[in-house]
Amino acid sequence: MTENNLLSLIIFAPLVGAVINWLIGGRLKNELFSGVVACAAVGVSCVVAFMIAFGIGTPHIGALSAPEGKPVLDHIWTWIQVGSFRADFGLGMDRLSGIYVCFITFVGLLIHVFATGYMHGDKGFYRFFAYLNLFMFSMLTLILADNYLLMFVGWEGVGLCSYLLIGYYIKRDEARKAAKKAFVMNRIGDWGVLMAIFLMYSMTGSISFFDKTVDGAQVQSVFTWVSQNVMAPESFAGAAIFAGGLTSIAVLLFVGATGKSAQIPLFTWLPDAMAGPTPVSALIHAATMVTAGVYLVVRSNAIFQNAPTAMFIVAIIGAATAIFAATIGLAQNDIKKVLAYSTVSQLGYMFLACGVGAFTAAIFHVMTHAFFKALLFLGSGSVIHGMHHEQDMRRMGNLKKYMPITFATMLTGWLAISGIPIFAGFFSKDEILYKTFASPNIPEPWNYVLWIVGLVTAVLTAVYMTRMMVMTFWGEERFHEELPVAEHPHDAARAEENAYAFGDASDAVEPHGDAHAAAHHYDDGHGAAHDEHDDEDEHHHALAHDFKPHESPWVMTVPLIVLAILSTFGGLMGVPYALSSLVGIKDANVFEHTLEPIIAKVSHKEAGHSTAATGEHAPAATNAAGAGHAASAAATEAAHDAHSPEEVRNERLLAGLSVLLAALGIGTGWMIFQKSPLKRMPKILAEKWRVDELYNGYIVDPITNLSRNALWKGIDIGVIDGIVNGVGHFVAALGGVARGIQVGFVRSYAAFILFGALIVIGYFIYYGFRLIG
């Protein structure tokens, strides 16, 4: 156990930045000051994070290379200590949080720099950066917390900052409503996390992540408890979910993860969240916050591995979300919406990886995704900036001529997400697909089903990303194109309705989507796309006739270039053996080796379910019959080191297949959209499978009605108010009695005291008599 007090600097530097920006920046209103403070704060975090993670300039070995994954700890203060319950305000950086912190601070720094250019001229510049720094503080608290409760503080903190930043353009209705929607959806998930923490404490007596010694007291981590007390995984059955054991904890944690990471069924907030400024979308809704769910699951992998039912649910939900969001992404016209659905879809991949036991692959994908999705979002931000806040891809085209740097960098992002070899996305996505295929955790034939879903999603991803690139950068210039007012005339109205449903119940009495609103929201009928203050709304309608898009300033392009480099080469950190051995390198998978110690070793007694720990390299399916499921633990151990030839062959084959499919997807997309970029997509996809309508119709509206008619008018006014008023009257009557004593005459008071004294003394004398008699 290593102590390093510098660790607290990582989280507090952004907090200080936020405070300075809020208190001083708000008065100065100087963009240079606010920008420098915010970037410097994150810069400090970033430098310290790398120092501690790699052991540069610190007396001890870096967190990423410490033996057995021992964490670097920083006990800041004892937060709560009641009885056996203990929660510290303490930080810990082990290999998992080390990786997270490094890429979060680094990508965060780039996005901060980018934002100084993007937000130029905004009235709330300081406010934006204060929120952004506050977000960094919360996010780093979430990641570096050394126990579940403090992590939950960060978890709520990022939810709050997300709310603040989505609703940053407070004058715009859809931004406010999207913020509210995101918050409510997240709260549903938070319930799960809280319940899981409660259950966990009652079961293990601990909420700590690490074994540690604080104030001379030994603190045992949850995971140590699990490894010592849980002999075999819980049974694979639906009943286990409600048994109150590890499976229940795992499922509840996953409920939280679905909220934060926008998985089915709680994903609808993320696309709406695009109403926030684009750097926010890049930072919060692509690279960092939304991956908190993955972090939570991977952090709790010791619990999940003992809960096969929960693992299965995670895998199914992840795969379903991946393909579902990808189909919607195909039909969106708003550039940010496409990326939003793409994010949901990629998050689905990560959960799929978790569900099949490939935790390191999940984290690997989190990291590469952070690079390329941040890149794509920032690229789209650059495009939007250059197009004077036009987000509709139908009014773009041929931008490569005007914005060469943005184009070149987004090109790498596109290739990365599509899964073209060498680029970062290829290795991580491919690893997930292979691990799914070879998963020992998932009962047959579900692993194949999931694998096929993953492959189809990969193809779809390539298609919709190609569509986006083609519509934006190639083809003819459509800057002045008049678009049909509201392709789906009722869409705008419905979008309003969606938002209302998440707004106050009292709002809903206003006429829905009046004509004015319908006329305004001509774009994709979603109504949440204008990324600008309302006083500049006119931009969308008529770009000047001599309008030419322009390349963004260097503060915006430099982060793009850095991210493009990372998106290109970042994947080389985790090249699996099967592929690296092609070029003669034996041990290239640095990433996986780094994360190995944090993945719990679970001894599975049940035959047929080989260990998830060694499952990283599990032999798994040697052929379609999947004989690997019967492999014994001993065999897997051996296989771990040996890389059996069959396994390597399989992995290479599958990799080849996915490259092929990616190429196919890109080709298809190119063929279709190069010819007709404005091709109408299936309506049901453009309408996002009508999930919002489903939720509104079956959940939100009934609840609103129930709330208004039964709960408010019936129970609240009738019963509760009745009781409250009744109690009030009763208490008032009682109080009248109590006040009646206060007549104001000293003699009455004395008499009252005497009376009380007589009762007390009488009571004692009664005892006295008992004593004597």
Partner 1 sequence: MNTILLQNLVNPNVNLPIVLPEMIVALTGVIVMLYDSFVPRQRSVTGAISLIGLAISAFFLVSMWNDAPQTGWNGMIASDGLRLSFTIVFLLVSAVTILISSVWADNEDVPIGEYHALLLFATFGMMFMASGNDLVIIFLGLETLSIATYVMAGLRRGDLKSNESAMKYFILGSFASAFLLYGMALIYGATGSTNITEIALKVANPNFPALLLVGGAMMIVGFGFKVATVPFHVWTPDVYEGAPTPVTAFMAVGSKSAAFASFLRVFVLGFPLIAGVQASEFLHESWVTALSVMAILTMTVGNIAAILQDNVKRMLAYSSIAHAGYAMVGFIGAGMAKNMQQRDAAIAAVAFYMLTYAVTNLGAFAIVTLLGQKNDRRTAFEDYNGIGFRAPALAFTLSLFMLSLLGLPLTAGFMGKVMVFRPALEANNLLLTVMVIAAAVNTAISAYYYLRLIVVMFFRERTTDWLAPRIPTALTAALLITVLGVLYFGIFSDGVIEKFSKSSVGTVFKAGTRP
* Binding positions for partner 1, rule: CB under 8 A: 77-78, 81-82, 731-732, 734-736, 738-739, 741-742, 744, 746, 748-750, 752-753, 755-757, 759-761, 763-765, 767-772
- Per the CB < 8 A criterion, the answer to whether 431 and 356 are in contact is no
Q: Which residues share a beta bridge with 212?
A: 219
Three-state secondary structure of 353-390: HHHCCCHHHHHHHHHHHHHHHHHHHHHHHHHHHHCCCC
**Least separation, in Å, of the C-beta of 757 and partner 1?**
4
Rg (CA), the chain: 29
**Least separation, in Å, of the C-beta of 763 and partner 1?**
6
**Least separation, in Å, of the C-beta of 77 and partner 1?**
7
Identify which of residues 31 and 716 has a Cβ nearer to partner 1 in the complex: 716
**Least separation, in Å, of the C-beta of 728 and partner 1?**
8
Identify which of residues 24 and 214 has a Cβ nearer to partner 1 in the complex: 214
Identify which of residues 719 and 743 has a Cβ nearer to partner 1 in the complex: 743
Task: Tell me how far the alpha carbon of residue 309 is from its chain's centroid.
Answer: 23
- Per the CB < 8 A criterion, the answer to whether 437 and 621 are in contact is yes
Q: Which residues share a beta bridge with 90?
A: 75
**Least separation, in Å, of the C-beta of 738 and partner 1?**
4
Identify which of residues 720 and 761 has a Cβ nearer to partner 1 in the complex: 761
**Least separation, in Å, of the C-beta of 768 and partner 1?**
4
Alpha-carbon gap, residue 40 to 25, rounded angstroms: 14
- For the stretch 158-164, contacts whose Cβ atoms lie closer than 8 Å and that sit 24 or more positions apart, written own/partner, are 158/260, 158/284, 158/288, 158/289, 158/292, 159/183, 159/186, 159/187, 159/190, 159/260, 161/131, 161/132, 161/134, 161/135, 161/284, 162/135, 162/186, 162/273, 162/284, 162/285, 162/289, 164/131, 164/134
Q: What angle in degrees, to the nearest 10, is found between the helix axes of 6-20 and 125-144?
A: 160
Look at the alpha carbons of 277, 278, 283, 289 in this order and tell me if their dihedral is positive or negative. positive
**Least separation, in Å, of the C-beta of 26 and partner 1?**
16
- Per the CB < 8 A criterion, the answer to whether 347 and 321 are in contact is yes
Which amino acid, residue 352? L
Helices (H), 570-690: 577-580, 590-595, 633-642, 645-675, 683-686
**212 CB neighbour count, 10 Å cutoff:** 21
For the chain, the residue count is: 773
Kind of pairing between the strands at 72-82 and 212-214 = unpaired
Identify which of residues 645 and 755 has a Cβ nearer to partner 1 in the complex: 755
Identify which of residues 78 and 227 has a Cβ nearer to partner 1 in the complex: 78
Tell me the three state secondary structure of residue 88. strand
**Least separation, in Å, of the C-beta of 217 and partner 1?**
13
**Least separation, in Å, of the C-beta of 135 and partner 1?**
22
SS3 content of the chain, % helix, strand, coil (to 5): 70, 5, 25
**Least separation, in Å, of the C-beta of 748 and partner 1?**
8
Identify which of residues 28 and 750 has a Cβ nearer to partner 1 in the complex: 750
Identify which of residues 709 and 748 has a Cβ nearer to partner 1 in the complex: 748
Identify which of residues 141 and 345 has a Cβ nearer to partner 1 in the complex: 141
**Least separation, in Å, of the C-beta of 773 and partner 1?**
10
Identify which of residues 207 and 326 has a Cβ nearer to partner 1 in the complex: 207
Alpha-carbon gap, residue 323 to 461, rounded angstroms: 9
Identify which of residues 12 and 312 has a Cβ nearer to partner 1 in the complex: 12
> Residue 195, exposed/middle/buried by CB under 10 A (0-12, 13-18, 19+)?
middle
Tell me the three state secondary structure of residue 343. helix
Q: Which residues contact 661 (CB under 8 A, 6 or more apart)?
A: 419, 455, 458, 459, 462
**Least separation, in Å, of the C-beta of 771 and partner 1?**
5
Alpha-carbon gap, residue 269 to 343, rounded angstroms: 12
Identify which of residues 67 and 740 has a Cβ nearer to partner 1 in the complex: 740
**Least separation, in Å, of the C-beta of 714 and partner 1?**
24
> Residue 561, exposed/middle/buried by CB under 10 A (0-12, 13-18, 19+)?
middle
Identify which of residues 484 and 736 has a Cβ nearer to partner 1 in the complex: 736
Identify which of residues 660 and 761 has a Cβ nearer to partner 1 in the complex: 761
Phi, psi for 81 (deg, rounded to 5): -140, 105
**Least separation, in Å, of the C-beta of 749 and partner 1?**
4
